[in-house]
A and B are shown apart, each in its own frame.
Chain A
Amino acid sequence: MFHIKLALRYLRGRKLRTTLTLIAIVFGVMIIVGFNAILPAISQAIQGNLSAMADEVDLTVSSETRGPFAMAVADQVRQVPGVAAVSPQLVRPMALPASQALVNKDGTAVTLLIVRGVDPATVTEVEQISLADGRLLTAADQNAILIANSLAQNTGLGVGDRLTLPAATGVMDFEIVGITSGRPLQGSEEVFIPLATAQTVFNFPGQINTIEARFAANSNADTVRAAVLAALGSGYKVGGTTTGSEFAAAMEAANYIYNMFGVIAIALGGFIIFITFRTVVVERRRDIGMLRAIGASRKTILGLILAEALILGVIGTAVGILLGYLMATGLLTGMQSLLEEFMRTSVGSPTLEPWVFGLAIGLGVGITLLAGLFPALAAMRVSPLEALRPSLAEVERRRAGRGAMVGAILIVVAFLTLLPGTVGLAALGILLLIVGLALVLPALIYPLARIFGRLLSIIFAREGQIAQGNLTRQPGRAAITASAITIGLSLLVAMGSLILSMQGGMMEWVNTTLGSDYLFMPPSLVLGGGNIGANEQMAADIAALPGVEQVTSLRLATSQIDGTDLQVIGIDPVTYPQIAGLIFSKGDEKTVYAALGNGRAIIVNGIFAAQNGVTVGDTLTLQTPNGAQTYQVVAVGGDFLNFKLATGYISQANLAQDFNETTDMLVMVDRAANADAAQVAAGLQQIAAGYPAFTFYSLAEWQTQMERTLAAFNGMYVLLIILAIPSLIALINTLAINVLERTREIGTLRAVGATRRQVRRMITAESLLLAATGTLFGLLTGLWLSYIMVGAMSMVGLILPFSFSYAGILLAIAVGLGFGILGALIPARQAAKLDIVRALAYE
C-alpha cells in the first residue's frame, strides 16, 4: 500500500530519530509485559497446591481455613453411604534449612519437601502407590519414609539410607524404606511418612488436614460428594489444602504498582511520540503542501502520518514484548537465589497471559496512534500553498491564559484526590498533576525564562539574551520541552525518594518489630512457607537459660473471612510488646495489647484493612477448625515479615483455643541487663543446634543480614536511569525542531556576522534555559509525587517515614542541566554547520 510504503521510506530516511522514538514505545511495553510475566510465575511458585490431581482420587476434602482439624472428621466421612474407603492425612510443605537441604547431583539443593503423613493401613485403599524399590509403610513403622523415584535419582539416595528432617521437636531421623515410582501426586519432592509421625513433626497431635476417599463402585460420584459435604457441615471444601493464598492479595497490589509504572512509562513514550510527530509535520510542511497541491486529499495526508505512527507502534510493541519477556526471564533468574534463600521456593519461566498481550498491544499501538493523531490532524490542515510559498514559522498567539486556568484547576484536583485515602485515586491524581503542569507551564515560561535568563547572561552574555527571546516568543513549544524534562525528572526524583524512604523505613520496621537481642528465624521468611517451627519445649528451654530475661514467639494459623484468606498470627500480649512491637496506623498502642488478651480481639494489618474496608471497632467472623468465631478489631497495625500479606494478630491463647495451634514459628529473646552477652549467646546457640529448623541470630548479625537484603533495592536505581532516557529523547527532538524551524533565521544571523561559536552558544543557552525550567518543576513535582507514593504505601499498611536526600536533589539538578547540554549538542552542532547560502534559500 502506498501509505505504508511512503511511511516506511520516511522512517528509514531518519534512522536515528526512528530508533529514538521506538525506544520510547519499546520501554513502556517492555515494563508492562516484563512485570506481568514475572508475577504469575512467582505466585505460582508460592501458591503451592497441595491437592491431589482431581482424577487420581475420588474425593479430597480439606478445611476452608486451610488448617488442621480433628481426626474424628474422617470417621464422619466414612459413615456416608457410597463411601467405600477413607484415608486421613496431614499434608504440609516442609522448608529445609540450609544445614539439612538435600543436595542434587548437579549441585542444586532441594529446599522444600511436601510431606504427606498417611495412615499406612488406609492410604492404599484410596490411592495407588506403586513402588520402584523397597516396601510400603506399615502400621508398625515410626521413622520410615518413602521418597519419589525422581528425588532418589537426583540425590542418589536409596532404600536403607537415612534422612534427617527438621521437626517441631527439633530433628527426626528417618530410614528410607521405599522408593515410589510413577508420577508423584505432589511433584518430585513428595515424601510419605506415617500419619502419627507427621503429627509430631508438625506439632499437630491428633489432627489431620486432608481426607481422601474412594467411592463404592456402583455409586454416583456427584451424589456421594454432595452427601459428604452435607455430613461435614460448613467449613469444609472439596479439594486439598492450598498454601500461600494470602499472597494473592499482595501480588495484586504489586501488580497494580508495576502496571502504574508501565502506564506512566508508556504515557511518557506517548509524549515523546507526540513531539516526534510534531517535528515530522513541521519538517514536511512543504512535502505535505506539495502532495495537497498535486491532488492528495486531506484524508490521504491524515492516513500518511497515521500509517507512520502505526508502523512505529507495531514495531515498538513487538520489540517491547520480546524484550519484556527477556527481561522477565532475566529478573526471574536473578530472583531465583533470593526466593530460594528467603522463601524456600523456586520459580518457573515467565508466563504471558493473553490479557497481557492485549494490554501491551492496546497501549503500545493505541498510545502511539493517539500521540500521532494530533500532529496528523495538524498535517491535514496544511494548505497546499505551503508548497509554493515560503512557510513562515507559526506565530503563536498568547492563548496560554485558558490552558493555564484549566491546568491550575487540574493541579488543585490532583491534590484533592489525596483526601479520600484511596491508592487508585491518588495514582489518578499523579496523572492529573502531570497534565495540569504541562498546561500551566506555557504561562510560566516567560517569567521563568527571565529569571534564568538573567543568570545565564552572566555566562553567555549576548547569546543568552537572544536565547531568552526565542523561548518567550514560542512559549508553547518551550513549555513542551520543559515539561518533557519535568516529567522525566519528577519520575526520577519520586522513584529515588521512594526507594530511599523504603530503605530507611524498612530498616525501622525491622528494628521495631524484630528488634530483640536474639532471634530464632525460620528458613522461610514467609511464615506460612513450609516452616516447621518448634513445640513449646524450645521456648521453655530458652526461658530457663540463666541470663535470659524474656522470650516471646510468633505462631501461625490460617483462616478465612467471607471467603477472603487471612493468615492469623498468635502473639503473647504480655511478652511481645516488651521485646518487640507492631507498628500501628490506627488504635492506641498502650491499650491494644491488653485488649488482645481480653476476649476475642484481633489486630489486622494495613493491607487487609485497606482491601476489605475494615477499621477499628468492626467485628470479623473468622472461620476456625472449631467453627466460626467472632473477633473484634482493636487496631490496625503490622510487623515487618507480614506487611505484604493479609494478616490478623490475636493472642496465643485464642490461637490455641480456636485454631489448635501452639507451634512457635519465630522466637525472640531479650537478655537480662546484667547478664554476660557471650555466655547467653553460647547457651542459646546450644539450644538452636537442637532445632536446625531455626537460624540463630544476634541483633547485630540479623541487622547486617537485613541491610544486605534491603540493598537489593539499589538495583532499582537502574530502572531510574532507563526512565531518564525517554526524557533525553524528547529534549533532543524538541531542540531539533527548534533549529529546523529557524534555519533561515540562523542563516541570517550567520550572514550578518554571528560566528559558528555564537550560534552554537545560542542554541546551548536556549536548552539550558529550558532544562533549568524543567528541572525546577521536576524537583517540585518529583518530591510531591514521592510524597504521594509514600502516602499510597501507608494506605496499604506500609507506614514509612518520608525522606529525601539532599545529595539526590543535587544529583537531580545535575542530571537535569546535564540533559540540557547533552540535548543541545546535536542540534547546536547542526545549526552551526549550516551553510549560510543554503540556509537563506531554505523555505
Chain B
Amino acid sequence: MSIVKTEQLTKVYGQGATAVTALNRINMTIQPGEFVAVMGPSGCGKSTLLHLVGGLDQPTSGQVLLDDRSLSGLKDDDLTTLRRRQIGFVFQFFNLIPVLTAVENTALPLILDGMKQADAHNQAEVWLTRMGLGDRLSHRPDELSGGQQQRVAIARALVAEPTLLLADEPTGNLDSRAADEIAALLRQISHEWHRTVLMVTHDPRIAAHANRIVFLKDGTIVDDTRLSDDGQYEERVVREKMAVMA
C-alpha cells in the first residue's frame, strides 16, 4: 500500500504558443513513513508537483492517489476536508496569521474541523512543546524568530495528525543553523512519529536529511535515489548527483 501515488501526472500551464508543460507524465510512488526530498533546477516543476499532490491544484491529465483514493473528481469541499485531516502543509514564508498567538495559530486546523477551543489549544500546546516551543505558547508571530515561526508552522501542520506532510522549501527563508534544525525536525517527524514527508528543497545539506531524493528536470523524473538509512547524512552523495544533473 502506498500513501502517495501519481499516475502519468501532467500539468500544462497556459495554452497554445505560450503553453508550458510544468510536469510531464510523472509516475511516482511514496510509501508510508518515507522522507522524500524533491530537487531540481528552478522551474523544473517541483512546486507544481507538491501542489498537485496536496490537492491545491488540478492536473491537466493523469491523477494523484492518496491512500489509493484518486483526487480527481473530488469537489472543492471534499478536497478541503481531506487537506484538513490528512495533509499538513509547511510553507517557505511560514504563513502564520499575524494577529493570532502561537497556540492559536497551531490550533487552527482543529478549530476549522469543529473541535472545541479548549481541546484544540491543549493539543496545540502538546505539539508546540514537542517542537521545543513550550515557553513561547502565547507569543505572536512578530515576537518569534524565523526558525521559531517555522516550528509553529510545522506544529500547525502536524496538530491534526495528518499522514502526509508537504513542505515547499521550508528552510528557504532561514539561515543555515535554523535550516539544519528544521531539517532535523522533519527527519524526526518521519522516523520517530512515522509521518510521510514530501519536501522540496534546493539545498543539498537539507536534502541529505531525507532518505530518498527525487530529481526533476523539465517536468520529468530524471533520478530517484535512496540514501542509506543509518543516520549518516550523505550530503556528498547529493552534491555529486546534482553535479551530474546539471
Interface of A is mostly: helix
Contact with A along B83-98 (1 / 0, CB 8 A): 1110011011101011
A385–B100 CA distance with the chains assembled, in angstroms: 22
A9 and B76 in contact, given A294-B84, A295-B112, A388-B168 (Cβ under 8 angstroms): no
Closest to B101 in A: A9
State the Cβ distance, B89 to closest chain A Cβ, in Å: 5
Q: Number of residues in B with C-beta < 8 Å to the partner?
A: 34
Cβ 8 A contact of B97, one of A287, A384, A841: A287
A6 and B109 in contact, given A294-B156, A295-B81 (Cβ under 8 angstroms): no
Interface residues of B in 157-175 (CB under 8 A from A): 157, 160, 168, 173
A388 and B112 in contact, given A290-B95, A295-B85, A298-B76 (Cβ under 8 angstroms): no
Residue A292 is within 8 A (CB to CB) of chain B in the complex = yes
A294–B168 CA distance with the chains assembled, in angstroms: 14
* Contact A296–B112 (Cβ < 8 Å): yes
A385–B50 CA distance with the chains assembled, in angstroms: 11
Residue A582 is within 8 A (CB to CB) of chain B in the complex = no
* Contact B156–A388 (Cβ < 8 Å): no
- Chain A residues, CB < 8 A from B83: 293-295, 384
Cβ 8 A contact of B51, one of A287, A296, A385: A385
Residue B240 is within 8 A (CB to CB) of chain A in the complex = no
Cβ 8 A contact of B91, one of A2, A13, A383, A388: A388
- Chain B residues, CB < 8 A from A2: 111-112, 117
A292 and B91 in contact, given A2-B111, A300-B112, A388-B47 (Cβ under 8 angstroms): no
* Contact A6–B99 (Cβ < 8 Å): yes
Contact with A along B111-134 (1 / 0, CB 8 A): 111000100000000000000000
* Contact B99–A12 (Cβ < 8 Å): yes
* Contact B95–A297 (Cβ < 8 Å): no
A286 and B95 in contact, given A9-B100, A295-B112 (Cβ under 8 angstroms): yes
Question: For this complex, into which size category does the number of interface residues on chain A fall?
Answer: 20 to 34
Contact with B along A176-201 (1 / 0, CB 8 A): 00000000000000000000000000
Residue B135 is within 8 A (CB to CB) of chain A in the complex = no
* Contact A389–B99 (Cβ < 8 Å): no
A294–B88 CA distance with the chains assembled, in angstroms: 7
Closest to B55 in A: A384
Closest to B86 in A: A295
A13 and B95 in contact, given A293-B56, A294-B156 (Cβ under 8 angstroms): no
Residue B108 is within 8 A (CB to CB) of chain A in the complex = yes
A9–B97 CA distance with the chains assembled, in angstroms: 10
A381–B223 CA distance with the chains assembled, in angstroms: 37
Cβ 8 A contact of A385, one of B57, B77, B97, B160: B57
- Chain B residues, CB < 8 A from A389: 47
* Contact A6–B95 (Cβ < 8 Å): no
A286–B89 CA distance with the chains assembled, in angstroms: 14
- Chain B residues, CB < 8 A from A13: 98-99
Cβ 8 A contact of A294, one of B76, B89, B98, B100: B89
Residue A387 is within 8 A (CB to CB) of chain B in the complex = yes
- Chain B residues, CB < 8 A from A10: 99
* Contact B54–A291 (Cβ < 8 Å): no
State the Cβ distance, B155 to closest chain A Cβ, in Å: 12
* Contact A294–B47 (Cβ < 8 Å): no
- Chain A residues, CB < 8 A from B50: 388
* Contact A388–B56 (Cβ < 8 Å): yes
* Contact B56–A383 (Cβ < 8 Å): yes
State the Cβ distance, B4 to closest chain A Cβ, in Å: 17
- Chain B residues, CB < 8 A from A295: 80-81, 83-85, 109, 112-113, 160
- Chain A residues, CB < 8 A from B160: 295
- Chain B residues, CB < 8 A from A385: 51, 56-57
A320–B77 CA distance with the chains assembled, in angstroms: 40
Interface residues of A in 286-342 (CB under 8 A from B): 286-287, 289-298, 300
* Contact A297–B85 (Cβ < 8 Å): no
Closest to A13 in B: B99
A415–B25 CA distance with the chains assembled, in angstroms: 62
- Chain B residues, CB < 8 A from A297: 76-77, 80-81, 112
State the Cβ distance, A27 to closest chain B Cβ, in Å: 27
- Chain A residues, CB < 8 A from B108: 291, 294, 296
- Chain B residues, CB < 8 A from A300: 112
* Contact B99–A387 (Cβ < 8 Å): no
Cβ 8 A contact of A384, one of B47, B56, B168, B173: B56
A319–B91 CA distance with the chains assembled, in angstroms: 42
A111–B97 CA distance with the chains assembled, in angstroms: 66
Contact with A along B51-67 (1 / 0, CB 8 A): 10010110000000000
State the Cβ distance, B144 to closest chain A Cβ, in Å: 16
Closest to A296 in B: B112
State the Cβ distance, B61 to closest chain A Cβ, in Å: 19
Interface residues of A in 1-57 (CB under 8 A from B): 2, 6, 9-10, 12-13
What 15 new A-B contacts, CB under 8 Å, besides A290-B95, A298-B76? A10-B99, A286-B93, A286-B95, A291-B97, A293-B56, A293-B83, A293-B91, A294-B109, A295-B81, A295-B112, A296-B108, A297-B77, A297-B80, A388-B89, A843-B93
Q: Which residues of A contact B (CB under 8 A)?
A: 2, 6, 9-10, 12-13, 286-287, 289-298, 300, 383-385, 387-389, 841, 843
Q: Which residues of B contact A (CB under 8 A)?
A: 47, 50-51, 54, 56-57, 76-77, 80-81, 83-85, 88-89, 91-93, 95, 97-100, 108-109, 111-113, 117, 156-157, 160, 168, 173
A and B contact pairs by CB, cutoff 8 A, 23 listed: A13-B99, A287-B97, A287-B98, A290-B91, A293-B89, A294-B83, A294-B156, A295-B81, A295-B83, A295-B85, A295-B109, A295-B112, A296-B80, A297-B76, A298-B77, A385-B56, A387-B89, A387-B91, A388-B47, A388-B51, A388-B89, A388-B168, A389-B47
